[in-house]
């Protein structure tokens, strides 16, 4: 009944190419539209249409490497062409896979919405897939669920607001994102990401302060691939700063190895969204949804912060659960039902789905065949200029968005190669994986966190800048304020210092012995980086251009000191005091996050090799102060400092001996 009334039953208009103009068929034979250069929204294909219109050949010519199916098997059985018994869809996924096109299936109820964690899994898949080439997404008509997923991806990848993403998708594919619940879903997803992206709680957009373990749970949501596997127990900022300090000490230039251009969508987004009125979205939210009989309150389009506004119940529940320490059962409930989550080992510290870094490409043009005809990319019906009006809402972050994306085109995103993936990934199919032994996992993590001092690669084994690049050529990729940070006179002569002098300089930076800048100046420059990391997708790449070890060290210590609770509590210190006969084993008694974070910093000190004893003493003092938030002259200061410094010195001695004997590569 639903099929016959909504779309024509067996004569389904969405599966009948004769019902659509050429402009509405970006792929001939399918009701389809290019939302961006690399993201295609389409109605579901069928075996008959695939064969009649050579859909697979068209996909190959267009560089489409992935198909994402949002339907559930058996769905819309009375629409259009009959379902294939083997798959429950109108086509066989094997037809695409045999042609080298990856296939993913995330079952999503028609006219419904998915959980926020499920959507996060989906945008992770999209991001990974876009590294391979273009992506085609479909549900039934390619309007509702497909539109929601693409809008959420745009929110995730470009930091545009939910309303901007909705309007942008609708401008490219009219009637997309069909129900009030779907509109709300995009808005909730946008709010869901705010605390996840927060690195420094005190900077805009502000969020609640969190403990180390809570932050690591957040981090696991947003990292993916290499980072998600090897930074399960170490904050990315700590690992990155330690690596950059060693690169500076060894005078290693970061060399570009694998790059993918970040496209400039800001102009297109601004021009499209500025012609549309966000007020229409609020009107849609106030109307009674045909699929629900309950009244609904309208969400504001402005970003909400739990500390400042009364949040929507669903968002409030998601946010509060996320910010608080999670019990084992709650962690399990926070999972999505996708096989992406089931296919990875769930960490003991925080059983949450892993995800990817946000500085991801929308349009990896490097992966698109050069012979692809792009003339059809944006063939969509002309917008009715009488209907479209100038936006009355503030295109939030318009200047920031333009600089964030446009200026980022000068930067290259680094993507470590993944292991070969399966060509099919269906949320409807079980995927069993034997869990690794805890000891083997810990050993792998320790090795992964080691820096190889003899190598020339940068963070995560990828290389960004050519060794023969001049400072001026690198500076062309920076924002003006960031360029000002890098262009400090004493940085220029660092490469002229001896290796020993550079190592001592890095050690002094860790000890906060700044001989070049005033404390207030350092504070200001650190605050700039804090805001960058909180608000811009490309900040993690940009920070690799920072050449001042004092700025980097201050940034790291400031992050540790802004945690809700000291990294090491009094209980932790008592544990270390009782087991100080074996420092290495004593440190392992701490939580994994604390153990690996402290070890990461100590390994950085070890790799600076022979540094003066007095400077090393000051480095340890600075570390203890940051870890405990206890000053040396405090009531228990002597006990705290003597206990921790004895443990840290024992670890440094052990690690140096291991390094000397060549038993392991440190950091």
Q: Which residues are known to be catalytic? A: 139
Helix axes 592-607, 212-222, angle to 10 degrees: 80
Indicate the pairing of strand 412-413 with strand 260-261: antiparallel
d(CA 424, CA 105) in angstroms, rounded, equals 8
- Report the C-alpha gap between 413 and 538 in whole angstroms: 8
Distance between CA atoms of residues 554 and 509, nearest Å: 8
Note the helical H segments in 326-381. Answer: 328-333, 339-342
**What single string gives the DSSP state of each residue in 85-99?**
TTTSSSS-HHHHHTT
> For the chain, what is the radius of gyration of the CA atoms?
26
Half-sphere exposure of 435 (CA within 13 A, CB side): 8
* CB crowding 35-73: b at 16 or more within 10 Å, else e: bbbbbbbbbbbbbebbeebebbebbbebbbbbbbbbbbe
Which of these, 332, 319, 75, lies nearest to 193 by C-alpha position? 319
Q: Burial-class residue 553 by CB neighbours within 10 Å (0-12, 13-18, 19+).
A: buried
Distance CA 290, CA 162 (A): 22
CB 311 within 8 A of CB 191: yes
Task: Give SS3 for 355.
Answer: coil
Instruction: List helix spans (H) across 458-498.
Output: 471-475, 480-486, 489-492
Q: How far apart are CA 616 and CA 611, in angstroms?
A: 7
Mapping DSSP onto H, E and C, the string for 512-580 reads CCCCCCCHHHHHHHHHHHHHHHHHCCCHHHHHHHCCCHHHHHHHHHHHHHCCCCCCCCHHHHHHHHHCC
Distance CA 74, CA 85 (A): 9
Cα distances (Å, whole numbers) of residue 652 to 161, 444, 510, 602, 657: 47, 20, 15, 7, 8
- Residue in this structure with the two tokens 């060894």, named with its chain if needed: 250
**H/E segment holding residue 444:** helix 438-448
Quote the CA–CA distance of 481 and 394 in Å, as a whole number. 25
DSSP codes of every residue in 231-286: -SSS-HHHHHHHHHHHHHHTTPPP---S-EEPP--HHHHHHHHTTS-THHHHHHHH
């Amino acid at each position: 009944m639903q099929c016959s009334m909504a779309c024509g039953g067996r004569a389904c208009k969405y599966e009948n190419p004769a019902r659509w103009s050429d402009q509405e068929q970006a792929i001939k034979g399918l009701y389809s539209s290019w939302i961006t250069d690399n993201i295609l929204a389409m109605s579901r294909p069928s075996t008959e249409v695939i064969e009649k219109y050579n859909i697979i050949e068209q996909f190959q010519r267009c560089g489409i490497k992935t198909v994402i199916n949002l339907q559930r098997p058996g769905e819309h059985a009375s629409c259009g062409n009959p379902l294939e018994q083997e798959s429950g869809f109108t086509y066989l996924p094997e037809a695409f896979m045999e042609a080298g096109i990856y296939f993913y299936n995330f079952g999503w109820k028609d006219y419904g919405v998915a959980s926020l964690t499920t959507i996060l899994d989906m945008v992770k898949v999209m991001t990974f897939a876009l590294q391979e080439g273009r992506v085609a997404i479909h549900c039934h008509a390619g309007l509702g669920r497909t539109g929601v997923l693409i809008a959420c991806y745009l929110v995730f990848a470009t930091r545009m607001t939910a309303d901007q993403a909705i309007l942008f998708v609708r401008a490219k594919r009219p009637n997309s994102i069909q129900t009030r619940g779907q509109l709300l879903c995009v808005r909730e997803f946008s709010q869901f990401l705010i605390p996840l992206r927060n690195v420094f709680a005190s900077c805009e957009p502000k969020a609640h302060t969190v403990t180390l373990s809570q932050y690591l749970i957040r981090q696991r949501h947003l990292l993916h691939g290499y980072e998600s596997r090897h930074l399960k127990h170490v904050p990315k900022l700590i690992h990155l700063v330690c690596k950059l300090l060693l690169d500076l000490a060894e005078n290693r230039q970061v060399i570009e190895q694998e790059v993918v251009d970040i496209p400039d969508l800001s102009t297109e987004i601004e021009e499209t969204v500025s012609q549309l009125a966000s007020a229409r979205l609020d009107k849609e939210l106030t109307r009674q949804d045909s699929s629900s009989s309950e009244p609904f309150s309208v969400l504001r389009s402005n970003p909400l912060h739990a500390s400042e506004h009364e949040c929507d119940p669903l968002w409030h529940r998601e946010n509060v659960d996320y910010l608080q320490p999670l019990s084992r059962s709650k962690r399990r409930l926070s999972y999505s039902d996708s096989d992406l989550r089931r296919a990875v080992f769930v960490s003991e510290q925080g059983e949450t789905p892993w995800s990817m870094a946000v500085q991801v490409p929308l349009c990896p043009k490097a992966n698109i065949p050069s012979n692809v005809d792009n003339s059809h990319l944006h063939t969509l019906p002309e917008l009715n200029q009488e209907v479209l009006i100038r936006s009355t809402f503030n295109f939030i972050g318009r200047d920031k968005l333009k600089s964030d994306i446009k200026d980022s085109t000068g930067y290259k995103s680094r993507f470590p190669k993944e292991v070969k993936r399966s060509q099919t990934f269906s949320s409807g199919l079980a995927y069993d994986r034997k869990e690794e032994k805890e000891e083997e996992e810990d050993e792998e993590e320790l090795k992964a966190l080691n820096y190889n001092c003899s190598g020339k690669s940068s963070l995560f084994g990828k290389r960004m800048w050519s060794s023969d690049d001049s400072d001026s050529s690198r500076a062309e990729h920076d924002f003006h304020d960031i360029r000002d940070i890098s262009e400090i006179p004493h940085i220029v002569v660092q490469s002229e210092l001896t290796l020993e002098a550079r190592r001592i300089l890095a050690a002094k930076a860790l000890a906060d012995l700044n001989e070049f800048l005033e404390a207030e100046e350092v504070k200001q420059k650190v605050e700039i980086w804090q805001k960058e990391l909180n608000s811009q997708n490309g900040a993690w790449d940009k920070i690799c251009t920072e050449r001042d070890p004092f700025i980097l060290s201050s940034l790291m210590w400031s992050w540790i000191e802004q945690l809700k609770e000291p990294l090491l509590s009094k209980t932790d210190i008592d544990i270390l005091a009782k087991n100080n006969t074996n420092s290495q084993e004593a440190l392992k008694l701490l939580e994994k996050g604390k153990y690996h974070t402290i070890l990461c910093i100590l390994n950085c000190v070890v790799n600076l090799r022979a540094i003066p004893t007095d400077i090393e003493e000051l480095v340890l003092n600075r570390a203890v102060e940051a870890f405990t938030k206890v000053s040396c002259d405090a009531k228990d200061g002597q006990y705290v400092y003597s206990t921790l410094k004895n443990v840290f010195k024992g670890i440094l001695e052990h690690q140096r001996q291991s390094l000397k004997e060549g038993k392991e590569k440190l950091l």
